[in-house]
Chains A and B, each alone.
Chain A
Amino acid sequence: MISERILELINADIDGELRPEDQSELDAALESSAEARAVKSELQKLSNLMDSLPPQQPPRGLGSRIAGNIGLPKPESSFSLSSIFSSFQPATAGVAFAAGLLLAVGFYEFSSERAVPGDSASMVGTMIAGKGSAPEFLKNDMQLKGDGFSGTIALRETSGIYILNFDLESEINTEVKVGLDKTGFAFGGFAEIQGDENKVLESVMISGGALRVLNQGHQQFAVFLREDETGKPVHPESISIDFSSSDRL
């Protein structure tokens, strides 16, 4: 009967974990003991059998399903419009208003029956005329300047319609996420200002009550907000806008 020590060395050898200083001891045991050789042969066969089984493929879409169920902290670069609303100013003259920019704009209208789910691919595209004559009010705006990223965001209101105007310049892909949780607003539409071939508006997606726009280069677009079905008072100061940038986006 072989000793525990030799059994340990045989197992370590099979696992590729035999220390060099133990090699000669194992060799001597195998040389002198037919039983040790038989044990090693059997264990090696068992090991080879198990190692020969191919890995199983996970079900299709498992990774996406997992990722979709994991919540991450908000990006550090996020900010809330509540800070800029504390310095509210009345309308300023000559400010371009989103509706007035719709001459060459693709406008996607969201019906109330399918207010949140879906993405831009399933939206109904409708061109609408501009409302240049309507009185317009600058509710607030913000200048952004960062490393490889700059622009302005302006929130305007006319005849009870709120519009978030984005004019952004980003060197790398940037995701802009507009969240309306507890604002009393729902998304009413999205408009992209077209005409610059260098623009890369990669995707527009609405899910979970937030709108995500992935863009690069110089982008101008507007997000239209409407009162949600509950009829509760709106809170534009609670609109959240998050940015995240990555060269891998």
Chain B
Amino acid sequence: MNSDRRDHALIDRCKRGDRRALEELIGHYEKPVFNAAYRILGNPDDAADASQVAFMKAFEHLDQYDPKYKFFSWIYRIAVNESINQRKRARNQQPLDDKEVTDVRGPEATAQAGDLSGKIQDGLMELKDDYRTVVVLRHFSDCSYRQISEILQIPEKTVKSRLYSARQLMKEALVARGVY
């Protein structure tokens, strides 16, 4: 059974109240959703919260899910939006004096900053949300242009142009950190 058919079968069972199907579906997407949220937010605790809210919203509105589209795209879209909104909320809650500081990561992520992974995550966090999102979906979620287009509901052409610009900025951020 391919993943689309499998997902649709599980969703049907969820709609009939089958909790095993719910657990199976979450099991398939827990890790990729968490990883996308982690790369957007840069903090594992916030990523776990965003993942949880994303799944809860998805299942709360399961009746609105259109089976023409992949469940994968739908849950990713909700997770990405939730992550971005969470980051905006975190920024808004910062004291006025700190408004210019955009890095809202926790101590665990900050501690990683000395290694390559930390430097790359630092570079990612410097990007605007739109740019960071396409980089995350392409490089950390392994999505194609078409999948990114479907998840973000933007034309493929926009995906490409954002990705090119984001890479340029990412490269500059990594050069500044001595990675190149």
Which residues 35-93 of A sit at the B interface, judged by CB distance below 8 A? 42-43, 45-47, 49-51, 53, 55-59, 62-67, 69-70, 72-76, 78
Residues of A within 8 A of B27 (CB): 63
Q: Does chain A have a CB within 8 A of B24?
A: yes
Contact B160 A73, beta carbon cutoff 8 Å: no
Contact B44 A56, beta carbon cutoff 8 Å: yes
Residues of B within 8 A of A76 (CB): 16-17
Q: Does chain B have a CB within 8 A of A246?
A: yes
Residues of A within 8 A of B138 (CB): 15
Which residues 40-98 of B sit at the A interface, judged by CB distance below 8 A? 44, 47-48, 51-52, 55-56, 59-60
Residues of A within 8 A of B176 (CB): none
Question: Complex: how many Å from CA A76 to CA B16?
Answer: 6
Contact A50 B55, beta carbon cutoff 8 Å: no
Q: Choose one: B17, B22, B51, B120; the contact of A49 (CB below 8 Å).
A: B120
Residue of A nearest to B52 (CB): A66
Chain B interface main SS type? helix
Most chain A Cβ neighbours within 10 Å, of B17, B55, B145: B17
Residues of A within 8 A of B120 (CB): 49-50, 53
Residues of A within 8 A of B164 (CB): 7-8, 11
Residues of A within 8 A of B20 (CB): 246, 248-249
Residues of B within 8 A of A63 (CB): 23, 26-27, 30
Q: Choose one: A49, A58, A73; the contact of B31 (CB below 8 Å).
A: A58
Interface size grouping (class) on chain A: 35 or more
Interface size grouping (class) on chain B: 35 or more
Q: Does chain A have a CB within 8 A of B133?
A: no
Contact B51 A62, beta carbon cutoff 8 Å: yes
Q: Does chain B have a CB within 8 A of A12?
A: yes
Q: Choose one: A12, A43, A51, A74; the contact of B167 (CB below 8 Å).
A: A43
Binary flags per residue of B162-180, CB closer than 8 Å to A gives 1, else 0? 0110010011001000011
Q: Does chain B have a CB within 8 A of A21?
A: no
CB distance from A4 to the nearest CB of B (A): 9
Q: Choose one: B30, B56, B139, B171; the contact of A42 (CB below 8 Å).
A: B171
CB distance from B137 to the nearest CB of A (A): 11
Q: Choose one: A42, A45, A46, A59; the contact of B44 (CB below 8 Å).
A: A59
Residue of A nearest to B31 (CB): A58
CB distance from B61 to the nearest CB of A (A): 12
Q: Does chain B have a CB within 8 A of A244?
A: yes
Residues of A within 8 A of B26 (CB): 63, 66-67
Contact B56 A11, beta carbon cutoff 8 Å: no
Q: Does chain B have a CB within 8 A of A17?
A: yes
Residue of A nearest to B141 (CB): A55
Residue of B nearest to A245 (CB): B18
Question: Complex: how many Å from CA A76 to CA B26?
Answer: 22
Question: Complex: how many Å from CA A196 to CA B24?
Answer: 32
Contact A66 B160, beta carbon cutoff 8 Å: no
Contact B17 A55, beta carbon cutoff 8 Å: no
CB distance from A129 to the nearest CB of B (A): 38
CB distance from B8 to the nearest CB of A (A): 16
Residues of A within 8 A of B174 (CB): 46, 49
9 residue pairs A–B, Cβ–Cβ below 8 Å: A17-B144, A47-B167, A56-B44, A58-B30, A66-B56, A67-B19, A70-B56, A70-B59, A244-B18
Can you name 5 extra interface pairs (CB under 8 A) apart from A45-B180, A55-B35, A73-B16? A15-B163, A47-B167, A49-B179, A67-B23, A72-B14
Q: Give A residues with C-beta under 8 Å from B.
A: 7-8, 11-12, 15, 17, 42-43, 45-47, 49-51, 53, 55-59, 62-67, 69-70, 72-76, 78, 242, 244, 246, 248-249
Q: Kindly list the 7 A-B residue pairs having the minimum CB-CB distance in the complex, ordered from nearest.
A: A75-B17, A50-B139, A58-B34, A63-B30, A70-B59, A66-B55, A72-B17
